[in-house]
Amino acid sequence: MKKYIYTFINGSAEGSALMNHTLGGKGANLAEMTNLGIPVPPGFTISTEVCTFYMKHKKFPSGFKKQLNSAILKIEQYMNKKFGCHKNPLLFSVRSGARQSMPGMMETVLNIGLNDDTLRGLVQKTDNAQFVYDSYRRLLMMYADVVMEKSNPLYSTTNDSIREELDLLLEKLKYQYSYKRDSDLTDSQLINLCNLYQKKIKSKFKQNFPQDPYEQLWGAINAVFQSWNGKRAIDYRKIENIPDDWGTAVNVQCMVFGNMGNTSATGVAFTRNPSTGEKKFFGEWLKNAQGEDVVAGIRTPLPIIDNSKHDLKSQFPKLYKELDEIQKNLELHYKEMQDLEFTIEEGKLWLLQTRTGKRNGTAAIKIALDMYKEKLHSKKQLLAKISPSHINEILLPTINPQEINNMNPIASGLPAGPGSATGEIVFHPNTAEQLYNEGKNVILVRKETSPEDVHGMYAAKAILTSRGGMTSHAALVARGWGKCCIVGCNDIEINEKNKLFKVGNRIIKEGDWITLNGTTGHVYNGQLPLIQPQISKNKLFNNLLSISKSEAKINVRTNADSPQDAKKAYELGATGIGLCRTEHMFFDPQRIKEIRKMIIANSLEDRKKAIMKLLPFQKNDFYNILKTMNGKPVTIRLLDPPLHEFLPTTKSQIQDLANDFNISYKQLHAKIHTLHESNPMLGHRGCRLAITYPEITQMQTTAIVQAAKQLLKEGFKPHPEIMIPLVGSIGEFIQQKNLITNIINQYSLQKLNIKIGTMIELPRACLIADKIAKLADFISFGTNDLTQTTFGFSRDDIGTFMPEYISQKIIKQDPFQVLDAEGVGELIKIAIKKSKSSNKKIKLGICGEHGGDPESIKFLYNAGVHYVSCSPFRVPIAYLTLAQIA
Amino acid sequence: MKKYIYTFINGSAEGSALMNHTLGGKGANLAEMTNLGIPVPPGFTISTEVCTFYMKHKKFPSGFKKQLNSAILKIEQYMNKKFGCHKNPLLFSVRSGARQSMPGMMETVLNIGLNDDTLRGLVQKTDNAQFVYDSYRRLLMMYADVVMEKSNPLYSTTNDSIREELDLLLEKLKYQYSYKRDSDLTDSQLINLCNLYQKKIKSKFKQNFPQDPYEQLWGAINAVFQSWNGKRAIDYRKIENIPDDWGTAVNVQCMVFGNMGNTSATGVAFTRNPSTGEKKFFGEWLKNAQGEDVVAGIRTPLPIIDNSKHDLKSQFPKLYKELDEIQKNLELHYKEMQDLEFTIEEGKLWLLQTRTGKRNGTAAIKIALDMYKEKLHSKKQLLAKISPSHINEILLPTINPQEINNMNPIASGLPAGPGSATGEIVFHPNTAEQLYNEGKNVILVRKETSPEDVHGMYAAKAILTSRGGMTSHAALVARGWGKCCIVGCNDIEINEKNKLFKVGNRIIKEGDWITLNGTTGHVYNGQLPLIQPQISKNKLFNNLLSISKSEAKINVRTNADSPQDAKKAYELGATGIGLCRTEHMFFDPQRIKEIRKMIIANSLEDRKKAIMKLLPFQKNDFYNILKTMNGKPVTIRLLDPPLHEFLPTTKSQIQDLANDFNISYKQLHAKIHTLHESNPMLGHRGCRLAITYPEITQMQTTAIVQAAKQLLKEGFKPHPEIMIPLVGSIGEFIQQKNLITNIINQYSLQKLNIKIGTMIELPRACLIADKIAKLADFISFGTNDLTQTTFGFSRDDIGTFMPEYISQKIIKQDPFQVLDAEGVGELIKIAIKKSKSSNKKIKLGICGEHGGDPESIKFLYNAGVHYVSCSPFRVPIAYLTLAQIA
């Protein structure tokens, strides 16, 4: 018969840490600790297989019951207690435990086995009626809530929950006696309360709280399984990409009590400091308390060791020594920082849990580096222990965690741009810019953003929008800049006219302060103190970066449009610019006028005139960027977006512009109308624009060449590369390359060997990549657009169906977040194979958003690209990923 | 040394009909006729290589001059005349002649060798001063025009041309003497005119007309080469897809004269009747005339044979017999109907040209079928001799050609829908429908059309738009219906408000008649008489169709949305419906209201209610179509376009709808706003719509199933197939297939074995075709959308750059017209390979516009599709193409 149950009793467990899939994380570690001789309350783990069987067949597998009874018997024998015996009762805790930790997502029932009979036995045995009735009260509450209500298929969230109703009874009682704490209740009050609880349960569920301990146990196991498919758990799995068919294990363990008096205690501890990474035992404990009291914040827990007389070391020196020994052994055993739970029951130490300890970014990096130094693990393991979010955390300002603990967010949205920011809110980009110039911190709040808002977005510390998804304009721009941003925050109702937003009953006006946590999507009222990172002085970070860089097999460049961004990326390790977009450069008010003149020009001559006015600006742009990246390659993409993006949209804007240009509103409106496109993403943009308006390419190339020439004269080493966007036919590339080469030759700059390449962002370009590669020096995959055309998805329009697609699992993940290996990836593989076949020297890169996503980087690296390019703040993450896969 | 010149003298030619590439069509046939012993004026052909050399190097190849002089010498010896001799002068004609006929696109110079000296010798020899001076006048005119002006690089079209100036001199002279015809001029008047001509030439070009015959000859040869790169010739080649590097040959031939008196004549003839195809010698001639007189229409030519006393047979019985013999031999020799030019000079017959005769559709089919019967060629050759335009011609009404000859079009646009139509113009689709219901013929004139106009477009005999290209909405709809349509007719200026259009100074008002020729793009004023085809009675057509069908290796289905279209396609040979779109069905005013209700519904229940109201309509649609196609497959595509296409756009329309639904304008406007998409082509449409609104699929499937069930009961054999549009991920297909299967099972209609398949119209679908094919019964390539996403081209927006792309040859041809083999085709090949690998029984088809394009059909057939589907009028063309390649 299949084995469904694994016991762990007194130094001997049937499982081990390797059986994570069967026993879940908690169960596997309980077994492991038991085998290590660490005191663990005896018990058994019901395997995840039982859960998946139960989910599928709505019943337990045959033979399961027999194994369960036999496990209970073994524990009874070892403990010399009996489950349900009124004289010497055995009590169980029932806890969930999946393969991967899902904190707080599933249910727990404690004190299983208590009933009107057994509690009397326990009172006799412990001589502590208050403790026993308090335990019974807790069981009644948990059981009614978890087993009788939540796992009941008729359970509805709209009624008052049993938990609320029972809480009310408790509060009433405390109010009656003017008690502040639950523990103020006397024995008889608790007895009374337990009776009231049982009556309420009966009246609500039309059935009694089950007095049969076995019925309690089965009910609790059943409830844990049910909670695997609870809404919270499903949602959590969706976010964390945990498969639904993993199922959870159930851990049934003898109860131990930290609240049996002054020789009892409970605590949580970390083998190293989870905030700083310091190699020092760290934790908190409470005397005469249960586990939940430590985290609930009602009593202030004490430090385990701070050399005061309150610390565990002073209060329980012998037990402290035992615990310290255990924690050292556990860390050495697991070769990983551990997070422990322990309970002292009447002078005996029990370990309830050990697991890999959560840590913040700084701690993660320090611990990994230290353990590498301590030879606890290899360089490869070092790298594996750092996650992108750890790096993100240390690169960005964060809200002081102490502050957050005491605050509730006023609203929540999608975490679109990382880090935190605090500032005065404004509703218009111009106001943002104005206040920014006055040196103020502002947060731009908009329903959604458009390219015309970019100056204000740039000026703002953070952006908050009420609409849009993770790939909306605001999200993309913010992520590119590594700027804090929350989008799709439906909770707030923006009234731009009156310059305020409503959230619930609260009104927040222009000038009021708010604070955003872009990593969680939370919005807080007021100005919370932020902690600013100092990257260049951060030895840990730089240490990690240099290890990552030395391990990585290919380079990481950055997507940067300004010298500031370029400088930031350089600090963060970028070896060049892989994508310097030129369109943002035109939104400057001085320039946009000339761009608009160009667009509305009626003759070639007028158009050329307007374009050439932009030359000095562009030259200056390129001069500064090339200078900043001195000696490193800078791939400049020629103008890409459709022209109408530069045009005004509102009536008054159009009128203003018409006045400026001395033409009628009607004329200008008609011109704008002719530029309207049904599907601008598939329209007159990219090199298509430059083929019909070759002056644009000529001006931009001239600006690049002039800037390079000046830098050479000044002794710098400019290294520009020119990238032609949106090529789909070889004729396009040839025409544009000729235009560019002619300008380079005109300026006699052949010796600089300026590379000319293209961005592959259309399926057709992938299919003719051999032809392109024959004539191009480099190819960079624009995976955003390639994803759009391969799927036929407009990034701006997927909001209407993508959420449904993901929740229905029609597609696994948003292909704009993680590269779609099956479709887009297949095209990239075809393109790489074709281009290498025709040009062995071709340089291949990627510069879409995916260049900063670890899963996508892995795919692209294996597909054979020579570099990835991503936004500055993603550079170290890309290096980490590349080092991890090297 | 390379051979540049090929002589043909008295039964012996250095070339032959096989040397078309070197000698051009005309030169090759002159050589062939010479070798056949047919009397051809001796001469020589300068090879096309000389032209390409000349174009490249701007000079003649070395050795060419020597070969030219030696050829002239050979002719002088044979003719016993001398080029430039004033006693017995030899005169030459110089004519172009490319590989493929380019009628009227290049230049000709006659009477080369005449000068002030030689003409005196010729007068003496012919005793016909009038003839000689008239010939001189013609030489001066042609030479000044062609050689001195047009081939002069400084030539500008803005000044008065020399031709106009010389014509003015002639007209003045005729006016002075009140002459009507050129031939009324006397000897001395002609002498005077020649002097005036020479003076004018001198004053205009600051140089004399060259008296040196060799200089004349070189000038003429040079001018013919130059004319290869004239604007007219380049434009013609672009339209006809003739490569620029073919070059033209030059034919230099002894002059023969049909205008040397009453024993001279000239004529053109066909070996069979080019209008009816009847096997009877046919042609026209004129006594004492030059070739150009026959076609110029100044004198009415006489029939060659009509058994009157005026025919050639009566007038020149011996020569007629000789000519009849020659024409019979030539047709037998070439195995093709010939178009001949002949001249009789003083009783001697000369053949000047033979070539494949142009013919209309009816004649082409009759001749091909007859020659097959006469065993002149094989079935394969029969099929090769018919072109799609021949079939088009006989399927559609045409303007009586006699009428067109006397009319000038008032405007021209792009020939978007074939055939001709005449009707009263209207500017609104509702008016079109109203007048249609009154039994009137109307032509709908719009700036551009939208789906809301479809009822009016349907009611109209033809559609004329001032905007849009060959793939605009109007063009696509019209082509689908085989309806006459002209788009992008910029010449007309539409004033919808005042219900008129201006063209030049002319104003055409609503109710005025116009006539369109959709095959040429010409618009005529007034009501021209049309000739209507009668297909079912057309034996020729049906004969050809049955031969084509028997030869074709795969089937042709049709794209049809209505029983009428289905019936038409059935008559034209379709074996089923490959694409029955369902969206047009919803534009009926009764239905669009329910669709709109569905869209603006706020609850699932309201939405379902609205949708289910459409069920009886849809059931009826499918009932009728399935009944019409009884026993044949009908592939029904579920709803495809984005929802906002069904919504009103103007303020008043929105207000009306809001009133209808009893909601505020603001509410409705807001709802419409939320449906707005940046790139609807890449948005919430196709199966994406059906996944978020599964009720649509359920309703449509129910309608299909109910219709099929009723037909079964009535004894019919319904054969529906259900096609899911825009699948890009396998999850989409699975979800939709399940919905459909459930409905089929609900109605217990499994036995009907309704096939469920998908339209592959996204690059990603091609890449996962193996996965799709595993679950699908059929796959149909939607090449329109696939072209859009592969290129990243929005069909609606390419107008801004595609013309430039084609003229700059950045791409060869519009990929929406002819399937792009390199990109889109490559994806199709990948998809076919993958889908066959996973499902050997998979049925593959194509239902984009390309299904009716011969070049695309060839590609798709070779790629391995099992059927093509195209608009009804393209069905016989598709069969012809398939038969041709079989």
In a domain, B538, yes or no: no
CB-based contact A148:A201 (threshold 8 Å): yes
Same domain, A344 and A225: no
A790 has a chain B CB within 8 A of its CB: yes
B764 has a chain A CB within 8 A of its CB: yes
Other beta carbons within 10 Å of A132: 26
CB contact under 8 A, A680 and B677: no
3 state DSSP class of A151:
coil
Catalytic residue IDs of B: 473, 847
pLDDT at A452: 66
In a domain, B469, yes or no: yes
Confidence of residue A153 (pLDDT cuts 50, 70, 90): confident
pLDDT at A103: 72
Same domain, A319 and A422: no
Look up the CATH number of the domain holding residue A597.
3.20.20.60
Which residue is closest to A789 within chain B, CA to CA?
B789
Same domain, B631 and B749: yes
Cα–Cα distance, A425 to A500 (Å, whole number): 9
Partners of B689 on chain A (C-beta within 8 Å) are 801
B691 has a chain A CB within 8 A of its CB: yes
B448 has a chain A CB within 8 A of its CB: no
CB contact under 8 A, A794 and B683: yes
> Is residue A804 over pLDDT 60?
yes
Partners of A826 on chain B (C-beta within 8 Å) are 767
CB contact under 8 A, A731 and B677: no
Look up the CATH number of the domain holding residue A473.
3.50.30.10
B848 has a chain A CB within 8 A of its CB: no
Considering A192, A208, A224, which residue would you say is the last residue of a domain? A208
In a domain, B365, yes or no: no
Confidence of residue A158 (pLDDT cuts 50, 70, 90): low
> Is residue B34 over pLDDT 80?
yes
- Cβ within 8 Å of residue B34, ≥6 positions away: B8, B9, B10, B11, B12, B13, B40, B42
CB contact under 8 A, B792 and A731: no
pLDDT at A297: 54
Same domain, A104 and A142: no
CB contact under 8 A, B800 and A683: yes
Same domain, B182 and B273: no
What number is the average pLDDT over the span A228-240? Answer: 77
DSSP secondary structure of B478-528: HHHHT-EEEE--TTEEEETTTTEEEETTEEEETT-EEEEETTTTEEEES--
What number is the average pLDDT over the span A217-235? Answer: 89
Helices and strands in chain A, H and E counts: 35, 34
Considering only CB atoms, A791 lies closest to which of B680, B728, B800, namely B728
pLDDT in tens, B326-377: 999 999 999 999 999 999 999 999 999 999 988 878 899 999 999 999 999 9
Considering A480, A499, A532, which residue would you say is the last residue of a domain? A532
Partners of B809 on chain A (C-beta within 8 Å) are 731
Cα–Cα distance, A110 to B222 (Å, whole number): 106
Considering only CB atoms, B788 lies closest to which of A682, A761, A800, namely A682
In the stretch 657-686 of chain B, residues with CB closer than 8 A to chain A read 677-684
Same domain, A194 and A241: no
CB contact under 8 A, B681 and A683: no
CB-based contact B614:B696 (threshold 8 Å): no
Same domain, B93 and B225: yes
Partners of B794 on chain A (C-beta within 8 Å) are 677-683
In a domain, B666, yes or no: no
Place of tokens 């309970």: A343
Place of tokens 């016989």: B876
Higher pLDDT, B153 or B669: B669
pLDDT in tens, B389-411: 788 878 888 888 777 766 789 99
Choose the most confident range, by mean pLDDT, from A119-123, A638-642, B308-312, B761-765: B761-765
> Is residue A577 over pLDDT 90?
yes
**Alpha helices, DSSP H only, in A246-296?**
291-296
A695 has a chain B CB within 8 A of its CB: no
What number is the average pLDDT over the span B248-263? Answer: 93
Higher pLDDT, B578 or B538: B578
Confidence of residue B451 (pLDDT cuts 50, 70, 90): low
In a domain, B421, yes or no: yes
CB-based contact B117:B45 (threshold 8 Å): no
Other beta carbons within 10 Å of A515: 27
pLDDT at A643: 85
pLDDT in tens, B833-844: 999 999 999 999
Choose the most confident range, by mean pLDDT, from A573-577, B175-179, B796-800: A573-577
Confidence of residue B737 (pLDDT cuts 50, 70, 90): very high
What number is the average pLDDT over the span B529-536? Answer: 82
Cα of A721 to nearest chain B Cα, Å: 24
* Percent of the residues in chain B that have a pLDDT greater than 90, as a whole number: 67
In a domain, A366, yes or no: no
DSSP lists the bridge partners of residue B492 as B503
A397 has a chain B CB within 8 A of its CB: no
Confidence of residue B111 (pLDDT cuts 50, 70, 90): very high
Partners of A790 on chain B (C-beta within 8 Å) are 762-764, 767, 789
pLDDT at A296: 57
pLDDT at A455: 78
Cα of B339 to nearest chain A Cα, Å: 41
The least confident of A46-55, A129-138, A216-225, A282-291 is A282-291
* DSSP code for A208: P
* DSSP code for A825: I
What number is the average pLDDT over the span B588-610? Answer: 86
Considering only CB atoms, B800 lies closest to which of A684, A804, A823, namely A684
The model carries a pTM of 0.80
> Is residue A190 over pLDDT 70?
yes
Partners of B767 on chain A (C-beta within 8 Å) are 790, 822-823, 826-827
> Is residue B695 over pLDDT 60?
yes
CB contact under 8 A, B794 and A679: yes
> Is residue B656 over pLDDT 90?
no
pLDDT at B599: 87
Same domain, B161 and B229: no
Cα of B783 to nearest chain A Cα, Å: 14
In a domain, A546, yes or no: no
CB contact under 8 A, B794 and A688: no
The least confident of A467-476, A568-577, B182-191 is A467-476
Same domain, A17 and A145: no
* Percent of the residues in chain A that have a pLDDT greater than 90, as a whole number: 67
What number is the average pLDDT over the span A436-455? Answer: 85
CB contact under 8 A, B678 and A801: no
Same domain, A583 and A443: no
> Is residue B726 over pLDDT 90?
yes
> Is residue B481 over pLDDT 90?
no
* Pairing assessment for the beta strands B411-412 and B522-525 based on DSSP bridges: antiparallel
Considering A255, A282, A310, which residue would you say is the last residue of a domain? A255
- The tokens of B80 are what? 């016993």
Longest CA pairwise span in chain B (Å): 104
- Cβ within 8 Å of residue B464, ≥6 positions away: B413, B425, B443, B444, B445, B446, B485, B486, B487, B489, B492, B514, B516, B523
pLDDT at A653: 83
pLDDT at A702: 97
The least confident of A25-39, A396-410, A647-661, B275-289 is A396-410
- The tokens of B849 are what? 């516009």
Confidence of residue A470 (pLDDT cuts 50, 70, 90): low
What number is the average pLDDT over the span A2-18? Answer: 95
CB contact under 8 A, A824 and B793: no
Rounded to the nearest 5 degrees, what angle is found at the Cα of A473, between the Cα atoms of B792 and A856? 65
Measuring CA to CA, which residue among A34, A31, A33 is closest to residue A16?
A31
Look up the CATH number of the domain holding residue B272.
3.30.470.20
Rounded to the nearest 5 degrees, what angle is found at the Cα of A104, between the Cα atoms of A102 and A110? 115
Considering only CB atoms, A764 lies closest to which of B679, B735, B790, namely B790
Which residue is closest to B769 within chain A, CA to CA?
A823
Domain count of the fold of chain A: 5
Which one of A473, A522, A719, A850 is the catalytic residue? A473
Partners of B763 on chain A (C-beta within 8 Å) are 763, 789-790, 792, 823, 827
Partners of A768 on chain B (C-beta within 8 Å) are 822-823
Higher pLDDT, A154 or A499: A499
Find the domain containing B448 and state its range.
Answer: 396-532
pLDDT at A93: 96
Residue B762 CA, chain-centre distance (Å), reads: 30
pLDDT at A575: 97
Cα of B825 to nearest chain A Cα, Å: 10
Catalytic residue flag (residue A522) = no
Catalytic residue flag (residue A473) = yes
Higher pLDDT, B808 or B446: B446
* Per-chain mean pLDDT for chain B: 91
- Cβ within 8 Å of residue B721, ≥6 positions away: B633, B634, B635, B636, B754, B755, B756, B757, B777, B778
The least confident of A480-489, A814-823, B746-755 is A480-489
pLDDT in tens, A714-763: 999 999 999 999 999 999 999 999 999 999 999 999 999 999 999 999 99
In a domain, B865, yes or no: yes
Same domain, A711 and A819: yes
- What are the backbone dihedrals phi and psi of residue B216, each rounded to the nearest 5 degrees, phi first? -60, -45
In the stretch 795-814 of chain B, residues with CB closer than 8 A to chain A read 796-797, 800-801, 804-805, 808-811
pLDDT in tens, A400-445: 877 776 678 999 888 877 789 999 999 998 899 889 888 899 999 9
Same domain, A1 and A135: no
Considering only CB atoms, A679 lies closest to which of B681, B731, B763, namely B681
* Per-chain mean pLDDT for chain A: 91
What number is the average pLDDT over the span A574-594? Answer: 89
Which residue is closest to B802 within chain A, CA to CA?
A688
**ipTM score of the complex?**
0.80
Residue B755 CA, chain-centre distance (Å), reads: 38
pLDDT at A673: 78
| Cβ-based contacts under 8 A for chains A and B | 175
Higher pLDDT, B280 or A800: B280
Considering only CB atoms, A682 lies closest to which of B768, B793, B808, namely B793
